[in-house]
A and B are shown apart, each in its own frame.
Chain A
Amino acid sequence: MNSYKEKLFKGITYTASLLAIVILMAIIYSLFREGLPLFKVTRLSDFIFGSAWYPTHAIPEFGALTLIAGTLSVTLGALIIAVPLGLGSAVFISEIASPRLREIAKPLIELLAGIPSVVYGLFGMAFLAPLIRDWFNLDTGLNVLSTSIILGIMIVPIIASMSEDALSNVPKNIREASLALGATRMESITRTIIPAAKSGILGSVLMGFGRAIGETMVVLMVAGGSAQIPGSIFDSIRPLTSTIAAEMGETVMGDLHYRSLFALAILLFLLTFITNLFTELVFLKRSKR
């Protein structure tokens, strides 16, 4: 009787954990099932390298290059803002701040990381975009610059928190050895501690990158939405995620437009999947050492 209960319980936990695999498979399956039929009418190379996205024209065109460029431009912009700020804050919290300040700063960062992205989107749309429009005399403030700033602020807590973990995990004897050799505090930070924590820091940047690529609400509200390859930081753009979110409501289930949005989702999924794989490898390398 007892061994029957043992087996049953083990079986239940076993089944539950299989569910994670099943769900991932189901997600991949549903994306491909709905998205792949697009390539019966559009060639894969036209989809990836074509720059005309006119899904609703009489002769529709599905070139996603402008959308990919949109995603990459704001993601890059966000990293340019967030990496120095995040890393600087991490160094400050881990190496410079007093223990008391650190106790307060850590949970505060954790709180900030939990703020819903739609709230950032609202702030960008109603406050930052008009400000940028007036400062630079533009027609609209909904552009690469505003989106990068908002996305950047959004991922600073992620980069700061994970880099700080990596920095504080550097063994005490390495720090002390460096200081004992006569290095100043900054010398030992830049030449000893940061190199020792480099895989963790890289991992945090990749994590922020993945988050920025997949972020939907901020780009949907702040990026402006015109499908073009940005020529300057004041151009309005339309990334992959916001195209899916903005256009899905207009489609009829099963039509080409609907399929093309799932094809975009496949692209997005692969992008984040590869990023995650990279992140994993970086972390794996660290834990093996």
Chain B
Amino acid sequence: MNARKFKDKLGTSVAWICSGITILFLLVFLGRIIYKGFSVLSWNFVFTGPREAMTEGGIYPALAGTFWLTALAILIAMPLGILTAIYLTSYGKPRWLVRTVRIAINTLAGTPSIIYGLFGMAIFVNLLGFDVSLIAGALTLAILALPMIINATEEALRTVPQDFRDASLALGATPRQTILRVMLPTALPNILTSTIISIGRVAGETAPIMFTAATFFSRQLPKGLSDEVMALPYHIYALMTEGTHPAKQVPIAYGTALVLLILVITISALAIYIRYNIRRKRQW
């Protein structure tokens, strides 16, 4: 009996220790980024451009680049993703096509981001002749975001109670009217929160934009769709690997990482908070 009690205590402590180590690792990780990043963070750092061959100044062009890349990518991917999810949940015929679409989406979701980068380079940059540009990067990121948005929207549409749909159809509404006026509005908050989470993902991606959109240095903000852009994640990578003055550039990289981290975590935390509130207030 004592041996069993001991084993029970032992097992419980192992689970405690595993969680403890995980939390410790993550605290050291986050603490380091925040501590190092905070020492360079300032109004000037966020809202001015880099100076003196990237050894001084701020990251504003990279922030603007990341904003445009992400905004365009989501604007392209969201309508497509929502329409696809509507087809999968509401029409769903023929069966074999639905199954094939599902396989395609799951495969896309598991494909490494560097492969999206190569695809974007081969198709958008080279074949279609967009060159390394904002639009090539945004299209590549849109394709990366598409499976996330489809899955999220599908899940959201499935939470709409069957009664709602039945009631709408029974009142004589057509399938299209039911989808557009009953199902989508009901599912919209959930669709939005999940989309916000994918915004965080897209904003932090580096590999897909390395060969399609990003440049190490540009003095100006992007003027049009065909300009190369700086981007926060790529900026961190470039400072760490191509920089020539590590003593001055590593702190800037930490600062950039902190800004990116704050951006991504604020966006996701917002989404999680909104979702929490929706779940609490939901009446059905």
Contacts of B123 in A (CB 8 A): 26, 30
**One of B24-32, B47-55, B159-167, B221-229 at the interface:** B24-32
Q: Which residues of A contact B234 (CB under 8 A)?
A: 118
Digitize B83-100: 1 where CB-to-A-CB distance is under 8 Å, 0 elsewhere: 110111011000001001
- Is A268 interfacial (CB-CB < 8 Å)? yes
Decide if A123 is an interface residue (CB 8 Å cutoff).
Answer: yes
Q: Does B137 contact A (CB under 8 A)?
A: no
Q: Which of A2-35 contact B (CB under 8 A)?
A: 2, 5-6, 9-10, 12-14, 16-21, 23-24, 26-27, 30-31, 33-34
Check if A115 sits within 8 Å of B264, measured CB to CB.
Answer: yes
CA A174 to CA B210, docked complex, whole Å: 50
- Given contacts A110-B272, A217-B237, A275 and B207 within 8 Å (CB-CB): no
User: Is the CB of A114 closer than 8 A to any CB of chain B?
Assistant: yes
B253 pairs with A10, CB closer than 8 A: no
Q: A14 touching B197 by the CB < 8 A rule?
A: no
Residues A27 and B111 in contact, CB atoms below 8 Å apart: yes
| Interfacial residues of chain A within 69-126, with CB under 8 A of chain B in the complex | 84-89, 91-93, 95-96, 107, 110-112, 114-123, 125-126
Residue pairs across A and B with CB atoms within 8 Å: the count is 250
Q: A12-B83, A123-B32 are in contact. Are A92 and B16 (CB under 8 A)?
A: yes
Interface of B: prevailing SS: helix
Question: Least Cβ distance of A177 to chain B in Å?
Answer: 18
- Given A17-B84, A117-B204, A184-B8, A111:B269 Cβ within 8 A: yes
Q: Mark B226-257, 1 if CB is under 8 A from A, else 0.
A: 00000001101100110000000010011001
In the complex, which residues 253-274 of chain B have their Cβ closer than 8 Å to any Cβ of chain A?
A: 253-254, 257, 260-261, 264-265, 268-269, 272
Contact call B108/A20, Cβ cutoff below 8 A: yes
Q: Which residue of B lies closest to A27 (CB)?
A: B119
- By a CB distance below 8 angstroms, the chain A residues around B25 are 153, 156
Q: Which residues in A have their C-beta under 8 angstroms from that of B21? A: 85
Is B207's CB under 8 angstroms from A216's CB? yes
- A121 vs B257: C-alpha distance when bound (angstroms): 10
By beta carbon, the residue of chain B nearest A26 is B123
Is B42 part of the binding interface, using a Cβ–Cβ cutoff of 8 Å? no
Chain B, 88-146, CB within 8 A of any chain A CB: 88, 90-91, 97, 100-101, 104-108, 110-119, 121-123, 126-127, 143, 146
Q: Does A145 contact B (CB under 8 A)?
A: no
Q: A17-B87, A96-B15, A273-B110 are in contact. Are A114 and B237 (CB under 8 A)?
A: no
For window 64-98 of B, CB contacts with A under 8 Å fall at: 79-80, 83-84, 86-88, 90-91, 97
Q: Which of B100, B112, B127, B261 has the most CB of A within 10 A?
A: B112
Known: A20-B104, A115-B204. A127 touches B32 (CB 8 A): yes
B200 interface residue per 8 A CB criterion: yes
CB proximity of A107 to chain B, nearest CB, Å: 5
B15, A241: Cβ atoms closer than 8 Å:
no
- Is there contact, CB below 8 Å, between B107 and A31? no
Query: In whole angstroms, what is the CA distance A98 to B19 when docked?
Result: 14
A187 at the interface (CB under 8 A from B): yes
Knowing A20-B108, A107-B272, A245-B210 are in contact, say whether A122-B18 is a contact too (CB < 8 A). no
In angstroms, Cα B206 to Cα A214, docked, is: 13
Q: Which residues of B from 9 to 23 have beta carbons under 8 Å from A? A: 10-12, 14-19, 21-22
Given the contacts A2-B174, A85-B21, A119-B261, A21 and B100 also touching, CB distance less than 8 Å: yes
Query: Given A9-B176, A126-B253, A156-B22: A117 and B206 within 8 A (CB)?
Result: yes
Least CB distance from A164 to B in Å reads: 11
B146 cross-chain contacts in A, Cβ below 8 A: 20, 23
Is A253 part of the contact surface with B, judged by Cβ < 8 Å? yes
Query: What residues of B have a CB within 8 angstroms of the CB of A27 in the complex?
Result: 108, 111, 115-116, 119
Contact B83 A16 (CB under 8 A): yes
Q: Which of B104, B113, B127, B240 is within 8 Å of A24, CB to CB?
A: B104
B90 CB → nearest A CB, Å:
8
The smallest C-beta distance from A127 to any residue of chain B, in angstroms, reads 5
A122: chain B residues within 8 A (beta carbon): 33, 236, 240, 253-254, 257
Chain B nearest CB from A276 CB (Å) reads 4
Interface pair B83/A17, CB less than 8 Å apart: yes
Asked whether B233 lies within 8 Å of A118 as measured between CB atoms, the reply is yes
Q: Do B7 and A186 have beta carbons less than 8 Å apart?
A: yes
Contact pick for B112, options A95, A112, A213, CB 8 Å: A213
* Assembled-state Cα–Cα distance A12/B276 (Å): 33
Closest 9 CB pairs of A and B: A88-B18, A116-B204, A214-B112, A186-B11, A16-B83, A13-B87, A184-B8, A276-B110, A17-B84
Provide 30 A-B residue pairs closer than 8 Å at the C-beta atoms, listed in order of the A residue: A6-B175, A13-B86, A13-B91, A14-B87, A14-B91, A16-B83, A17-B87, A19-B80, A20-B84, A23-B108, A27-B108, A88-B18, A116-B206, A116-B233, A116-B260, A118-B204, A122-B236, A153-B26, A185-B8, A186-B7, A187-B4, A213-B112, A214-B113, A216-B114, A221-B241, A241-B112, A241-B114, A245-B207, A262-B122, A273-B107
